[in-house]
Amino acid sequence: MTLTIGVDVGGTKVAAGIVDMAGEVLAETRRDTPADDVAKTRDVIIEVVAELLARHQSQPEPITAVGIGAAGWIDATRSVVLFAPNIAWRNEPLRDYVSAAVDLPVVVENDANVAAWAEFRYGAGRDASDSMVMFTIGTGVGGGIVLGGELLRGANGIAAELGHMLSVPEGHLCGCGRLGCIEQYASGSALVRFARAGARQEPARATGLLELAGGDVEAVTGRMVTAAAKAGDGVSCAAFAQIGWWLGISLADMAQILDPETLVVGGGVVDAGDLLLGPTRRSYLEALAQRGRIPVADIRPAELGNTAGVVGAADLARR
């Protein structure tokens, strides 16, 4: 049995695990991310790998490689983090640092790509023969594309930035510098913005949400919107309907452009279930006027949750 280590590096935590060929996590560990310190972040990655190697040393199966999923743009060679929005990485040669420290081959890939790969191999897309598109809906919107059984990485390794497709010309300013990206309309941040706006305009329809927020609209969080929506709060349900509508439009675009076998929605916001996926599916089908004439991909929730980054990174390292 071939074992590999996967490391999922985000802005707040570094999670790592030993993963087998069936996608099972056999051992795991985690640390906080010292995101404002390049050297310390690198050291934490090396620490979690070294810890797992030490815990496994008495076992007969060898650990053969390390995969790292990093929240940032990764170069075409899967070795350098070109830029990370939430970690102080700029042209960081992460692969070589870690490989030299742990004496194993290392692969570095974008975090949304590794999550998509995990879902394709072991999760919601595992029955697709060669194609899948995944949107990750969290604070922002990320994504990954599998075509021909391989991740679509582009000429420079930074393809599939699905959150930065243009949705609204001259719309809300995005963190990438453009106006009107889908990230500004279908993300967890957009959910909160829509809910706050609705609570200001129609407080009578937001009594449950405002109660959770102590009457302070600016204190509204995504968790509050989800809880209030599950309890039937009108404004909160409407906020989910809004981001679902926008997400469905983007999924329909992917169906038109790539014709994948499966469309997967992951990320923290998908935990809301049909509050998000219901309006998403309706919008998606409405946007595909030809749906009665030709087959289109179905929309599925991601299955692997918080383990997707670790599992996907480990499996890419194995390959």
Tell me: the pLDDT tens digits for 183-208?
A: 999 999 999 999 999 999 999 999 99
- In the DSSP assignment, the letter for residue 158 is -
Is residue 262 domain-shared with residue 139, that is, in the same domain? yes
| Of 87 and 250, more confident | 250
Which residue is listed with tokens 């809880």?
227
pLDDT level of residue 74 (50, 70, 90 thresholds): very high
Is residue 148 domain-shared with residue 274, that is, in the same domain? yes
Q: What is the dihedral of CA 154, 132, 143, 230, to 10 degrees?
A: 170
> What H or E segment, with its residue span, contains residue 27?
strand 25-32
Residue 99 maps to which CATH number?
Answer: 3.30.420.40
pLDDT level of residue 125 (50, 70, 90 thresholds): very high
| Residues constituting the chain | 319
Is residue 211 domain-shared with residue 94, that is, in the same domain? no
The count of structural domains within the chain is: 2
- Domain assignment present for residue 273? The answer is yes
- C-beta of residue 67 within 8 angstroms of C-beta of residue 7: yes
Tell me: the pLDDT tens digits for 204-262?
A: 999 999 999 999 999 999 999 999 999 999 999 999 999 999 999 999 999 999 999 99
As a whole number of angstroms, the longest Cα–Cα distance in the chain is 64
Segments forming the whole domain that contains residue 242: 129-302
Cβ neighbours of residue 304 under 8 Å, at least 6 residues apart?
A: 115, 118, 119, 122, 123, 266, 311
Which residue is listed with tokens 């590999």?
4
- Domain assignment present for residue 52? The answer is yes
pLDDT level of residue 86 (50, 70, 90 thresholds): confident
**What is the rounded distance in angstroms from the CA atom of residue 127 to the CA atom of residue 129?**
6
As a whole number, the mean pLDDT across the chain is 95
Is residue 261 domain-shared with residue 313, that is, in the same domain? no
Is residue 256 domain-shared with residue 155, that is, in the same domain? yes
Is residue 218 domain-shared with residue 198, that is, in the same domain? yes
- Domain assignment present for residue 48? The answer is yes
Please give the pLDDT value at position 291. 72
- Domain assignment present for residue 124? The answer is no
- Domain assignment present for residue 226? The answer is yes
Tell me: the pLDDT tens digits for 133-186?
A: 999 998 889 999 999 999 999 999 999 999 999 999 999 998 888 999 999 999
Among 208, 223, 198, smallest CA distance to 138 is for 223
Is residue 257 domain-shared with residue 312, that is, in the same domain? no
Is residue 109 domain-shared with residue 158, that is, in the same domain? no
Is residue 202 domain-shared with residue 279, that is, in the same domain? yes
Cβ neighbours of residue 152 under 8 Å, at least 6 residues apart?
A: 145, 146, 159, 160
% pLDDT > 90, the chain: 87
